[in-house]
Amino acid sequence: MAGTGFDLFSDRSVVAMRVDGELKDLATTLTGTEQVEPITIDSEDGLAILRHSAAHVLAQAVQRINPEARLGIGPPIQDGFYYDFQIDEPLTPETLKAISKEMERIQRAGQRFVRRVVSDDEARAELADEPFKLELIGLKGKAAQGRDGESVEVGAGELTMYDNVDPTTGETVWTDLCRGPHLPSTRMIGNGWALERIAGAYWRGDQRNPQLQRVYGTAWPSKDELRAHQTRLAEAAKRDHRKLGRELDLFSFPEEIGSGLSVWHPRGGIIRHEMESHARARHLAAGYSVVYTPHISKADLFATSGHLATYAEGMWPPLHMDEERDAITGEVTKPGVDYYLKPMNCPMHILIYQERQRSYRDLPLRLSENGTVYRNELSGALHGLTRVRGFTQDDAHLFVTPEQLEDEVAKVIEFVLSLLRDFGLSDFELELSMKDDEKAKWIGSDEYWESSTNALRRVALASGLGLTEVPGEAAFYGPKIDLKTKDALGRTWQLSTVQVDPNLPERFGLEYTAADGSKQRPIMIHRALMGSIERFFAILLEHYAGAFPVWLAPVQVVGVPVADHHVPYLERVFQELERAGIRAELDTSGERMQKKIRNASLAKVPYVLIAGDADEAAGTVSFRLRDGSQDNGVPIAEAVARIRTAIDRKSQV
């Protein structure tokens, strides 16, 4: 039946529709032959549309208050939206209040979002005073690959404007360049939104471009969902790893060293050591060989690997070394060579493979390294330990025959899940990134892509985890599986990646001798389990809010004597703890007993052992746990065994 989406869907929770697979406004005219699906406001697509519409209202409000404000980009993002502006005066918290008031007026007015197709020339004429929008028009066709939200404005097809139309007069009161779709009206934004903060941002994410002012907001289908989100944010702020890192004395970023370069304090170092030691033992048991490679290499290595051609902006500037000059004339007698800090470990692992002839009997070859790499991250993108300039990857590269690929990927996935569960994570899902039908983007035969993608798909399905397939998101040379986990706050983090790669073996001419004596090319599997140790540490720190399981806690036991004369007794107890390999500290400070217990609680110590006259007489101690509960009169041997068991079982207390 011909008509529009309004004719098909009377449910007010439906805010848009998918027509033959493409998102459309409800006002779109239909012929009756299309496949049409409703998009509800609480769906992933519906939330993105809600937030995009809220971003338009934000931009309209800013230009009502300051008509000289020039518009950047305003996309939906996870849990919210933002819009970038070029404004002479800096935005302030007071400005945000005024913008919010204006947004409320626009929302209540019920302005209709009306889509309008325009030519490039018409768009340029309408947007003559918007220099950033004019630049986007020139990008049409390339914006889908943009890194900073350009695709919400222009794509590969026709240009469209969205008019905000007064429902009473029919007058267009504001217009923006946009692909859409949008809510039918501003009224449907409701009251589940809020502006959150102001930040600086370079136009299109490039520090060579003008710096704009970015306003962040959030939007939800209801006020209750907004409040729940704000509660989660408040809890996340308490768990912020940067805050906890300072409070628990775990790590810091000294200005004297430089931005994005961390140092680990003794207590943070203990946790990291436990993480790395456990992971290394598990790797050795799983048949991996530990290797070590330098932090720096000649440029030729990264030219061969392709990193200089495709990733040069992400690498640190070169160091020019080894040049020799005549002492008298100053003329160069030996040309110098450029060296780079390594951005990735894989080229050096390939050189280890190349050092000797390889047979099919040598494969699979599993090389593992905690290798520190360096990335030239923009200063504005740095964020605690989750985005740094120097970090350590728990990297592994596996060299396999084509016949071994599926079985080896299955072992990797099983190993990854098992190891992450050791760290207390349990909620996982997988994402399979594949090629799409745009042939120019990919290298390799259709047969290779089909067989390798099917191999990864079978492994993912066999895991029993939820699987999302994402066409067009593979690396240009092969498919990959990403593993994602949820933390205690329900936030999703991407952790492990399993990437199939025939490209680097081809670039380096890697070979092995097959059973029939022929020379064959191995397939390489890139595998980072934690992603980076720094980032994984930050995720765990926030997941546990600093209260790590006993095996990871830097101090596992604090001893508190009821009075000074109980110190010698506790010292004898702590000798037993130390013999059992338990990290214990006896608080002999001059503080009162309750203050000592409070200090241990603030330090997130799992166990406090208290001893007074009765304990000393009976050869016992009293346990005080993190939740404030207490267990009195526990014999020393039993106390030691209880703590040791919690460590060995990787228990949380």
Catalytic residues: 346, 375, 393, 395, 397, 480, 526
Q: What is the DSSP string of 115-162?
A: EEEE-HHHHHHHTTT-HHHHHHHHTTTTGGG-SSSGGGT--SS-EEEE
Instruction: State the Cα–Cα distance between residues 426 and 420, nearest whole angstrom.
Output: 8
Contact status, residue 61 vs residue 109, Cβ threshold 8 Å: no
β-partners of residue 467 are: 430
Q: Where are the alpha helices (DSSP H) in 463-588?
A: 503-507, 533-543, 567-579
Which residues in 19-43 are b (16+ Cβ under 10 Å) and which e?
beeebbbbbbebeeeeebebbbbeb
Contact present, 374 and 316 (Cβ < 8 Å): yes
What stretches of 355-445 show up as alpha helix (H) in DSSP?
405-422
**b/e sequence 461-483, b meaning 16+ C-beta within 10 Å:** eebeeeeeeeeeebbebbbbbbb
Bridge partner residues of 501 (DSSP): 524
**Residue 249 parent element (H or E):** none
Kindly write down the DSSP assignment for every residue of 279-348, as one continuous string: HHHHHHHTT-EE----SEEEHHHHHHHTHHHHSGGGSPPPEEE--EE-TTT--EEE--EEEEE-S-SHHH
Is the CB of residue 497 less than 8 Å from the CB of residue 504? Answer: no
CA distance 591 to 596: 6
- What length is written for the chain? 653
Phi and psi (nearest 5°) for 601? Answer: -65, -45
Report the SS3 class of residue 405: helix
380 DSSP assignment:
G
Structure tokens at 94: 């007071």
Helix or strand run (H / E) with residue 601: helix 593-602
In sequence order, what are the beta bridge partners of 537?
none
